[in-house]
Structure 1
Amino acid sequence: MRLEGKVAVVTGASRGMGYAITKRFADEGAHVVMLARGREELDKAASQIGSRALPYAADIGDPDALRTIFTDIAKRFGGLDILVNNAALATPNPIVDALDADVQKEVAVNILGPLYCCRESIPLMRARGGGDIVNISSESVNHPYPHLGLYAATKSALETLSVVLRAELADDRIRVTTYRSGNVRGTFSRGWSDEARTRARAAARDAGFYGQSGAQIEPEIPAETILNVITLAREAQIDLIELRGAQPTSETIAARMAADPSKV
């Protein structure tokens, strides 16, 4: 098994891409600390994966909560080998309509959370003599969707953070990879109101965005790709990888323009 004896942290691990990454790592022998906010959903996900999954319910935007968790990881395992900053959220609105609480939560989860996780992980990776950090970005950094401008901005910030960390950690044998994701099947828009979802979908349709994104792919595909990235020979480094579905057919575009919210 390619990750036997390794310890990993995956954020946003209770569903979608985070769950698929966690399961793939555990299948390859890693102990995986799963971070997510909802305890019930997280515990259920961990039980489905098995004894190699360790769930910690936490808001990654809370630095004190993360300090406690990473202190426990250090005591339990003596170090850390892999961090995947996957957790993200978006509240669809034009910037002029954005509420203070929504803006603060989105920034906290999408950029402050990864920064805090990196800050706590680096000493534990140094204790192991190296490691891998994978920051999950989005194709929206190049094509920001209407009503999702703040989400795209936080992902752009995350990519900049990756560049800075890569330079700072070069002598520590800690590799930092930006994984820029296309459309992955999951529950990203689960918390959106019907009104906000309808407005965002209409704005994207009217601006022609559904023809720019690749077709939707299953989360197991990026999970396998990320596994390959972190098991690459240590003398090699992947700075940026962008994975998306193949160019959509006219049927795919039509489906996205219809009333299925999972296509947004």
Structure 2
Amino acid sequence: MEPLKDKVAVVTGASKGMGRHFVAALVGSGMKVAALARPSPELESLAEAFGEAVATFACDVTDPDAVRCAIDAAAARFGQIDVLVNNAAIYHPFAFEEGSDALIRSHLDVNVLGLAWASRAAIPHLRRTRGQIVNISSESVRHPFPMLALYAATKAAVEVLSEGLREELRSEGIRISVLRSGSVSGGSGGESWSEETRKKFFAKIVQTGHAAMSGAPASPQSMARGLVSILSLPRDVSVDLVELRAAEEGVPEGARQQD
């Protein structure tokens, strides 16, 4: 039995990092995937890699009209939407007093409002299929990292919003789950960091002990398997929140360089 075969998922932030691994795992489980991300060669390469199982939709999640159009187009392309994976997010370390207006606003626009726009647009489609939303959160909700305080706050907002929507939509058969992720290797979130930012951040988390707390990063393939497991559960049960953290001791690569 293949519980996800021929179902349709929308994944935001699909072109790079964890989002790309989510796409691969969902296709591997038999699903069709609508991949949403900003325009890039990486986004277009998903269709080349997975053929007709994946359709790409260039979309900035901070633009509510663009999000609605992309999700409606995905439903038209595949005939339905069964799952929304709200994966798109940014995290950029900064000392809070030094954070620019644009940097602070971008975290809220992508991590909270982007998720809100995608969820709002997907709900009518999910109502028809009695579908599911999985919102990706972070272990930093429980242990906010220094220089990532705002990122942690946005993920806390994601979890509270998920809890409220879960109760609001339960009577309509729409399940809302949170996948709270620990440290994962091979992410793309740090690609835009300057070398100075990297050094300051990793030095700070070594100093505070957060580097050791996060452990040796898990593989993105393992985290993607966790997502598939959540989606594969029978309809009469729902995961409210699952936290998948690194099982092995260690520190991120950048922190090891501080020794």
- Scaled by the length of structure 2, the TM-score of the pair is 0.94
Q: Give, in whole Å, the separation in 2 of the partners of 1:225 and 1:75.
A: 28
Paired position in structure 1 for 2:157: 157
Is the 8 Å Cα contact of residues 26 and 32 (structure 1) preserved in structure 2? yes
Deviations 1:188-246 (A, max 9, x none): 21111111111111111111111211320111111111111111011011101000111
Q: 5 Å matches for 1:234-253?
A: 234-248=235-249, 252-253=250-251
Q: 5 Å matches for 1:187-206?
A: 187-206=188-207
Q: Give, in whole Å, the separation in 1 of the partners of 2:59 and 2:252.
A: 38
Q: Which runs of 5+ in 2 are unaligned?
A: none
What is the CA-CA distance between 1:256 and the residue it aligns to? 4.7
Question: Match for 1:163: what amino acid?
Answer: E
Q: Does 1:67 align with 2:68?
A: yes
Deviations 1:13-45 (A, max 9, x none): 112221111111112221101011142111113
Question: Match for 1:135: what amino acid?
Answer: N
Q: Give, in whole Å, the separation in 2 of the partners of 1:144 and 1:254.
A: 16
Paired position in structure 2 for 1:179: 179
Deviations 1:133-182 (A, max 9, x none): 10000000111111111100000000001101100011111111111000
Question: Match for 1:94: what amino acid?
Answer: A
* Identity %, equivalent residues: 41
Among residues 231, 256, 259, which one is paired with 1:258 in the alignment? 256
Q: 5 Å matches for 1:208-219?
A: 208-219=209-220
Q: Give, in whole Å, the separation in 1 of the partners of 2:24 and 2:252.
A: 33
Question: Match for 1:87: what amino acid?
Answer: A
Q: Which runs of 5+ in 1 are unaligned?
A: none
Secondary structure at 2:178 match in 1: strand
CA 68–204 in structure 1, closer or farther in 2 if over 3 Å, else same: same
Secondary structure at 2:205 match in 1: helix
Secondary structure at 2:21 match in 1: helix
Question: Match for 1:7: what amino acid?
Answer: V
What is the CA-CA distance between 1:103 and the residue it aligns to? 1.3
Question: Match for 2:206: what amino acid?
Answer: R
CA 195–256 in structure 1, closer or farther in 2 if over 3 Å, else same: closer
Paired position in structure 2 for 1:170: 170
Secondary structure at 2:143 match in 1: coil
Q: Give, in whole Å, the separation in 2 of the partners of 1:242 and 1:201.
A: 23
Q: Give, in whole Å, the separation in 2 of the partners of 1:157 and 1:177.
A: 14
Deviations 1:70-125 (A, max 9, x none): 22123333431001111111121111111111111111111111111110111001
Q: Give, in whole Å, the separation in 1 of the partners of 2:198 and 2:7.
A: 40
What is the CA-CA distance between 1:5 and the residue it aligns to? 2.2
Is the 8 Å Cα contact of residues 10 and 34 (structure 1) preserved in structure 2? yes
Is the 8 Å Cα contact of residues 182 and 213 (structure 1) preserved in structure 2? yes
Paired position in structure 1 for 2:224: 223
Is the 8 Å Cα contact of residues 78 and 124 (structure 1) preserved in structure 2? no
Is the 8 Å Cα contact of residues 15 and 45 (structure 1) preserved in structure 2? no
Paired position in structure 1 for 2:89: 88
Paired position in structure 1 for 2:125: 124
CA 257–73 in structure 1, closer or farther in 2 if over 3 Å, else same: closer
Question: Match for 2:181: what amino acid?
Answer: S
Secondary structure at 1:242 match in 2: strand
What is the CA-CA distance between 1:255 and the residue it aligns to? 4.9
Paired position in structure 1 for 2:141: 141
Please give the root-mean-square deviation of Cα atoms over the aligned residues, in Å. 1.5
Q: Give, in whole Å, the separation in 2 of the partners of 1:125 and 1:37.
A: 23
Q: Give, in whole Å, the separation in 2 of the partners of 1:41 and 1:254.
A: 25
Secondary structure at 1:134 match in 2: strand
Is the 8 Å Cα contact of residues 111 and 155 (structure 2) preserved in structure 1? yes
- Scaled by the length of structure 1, the TM-score of the pair is 0.92
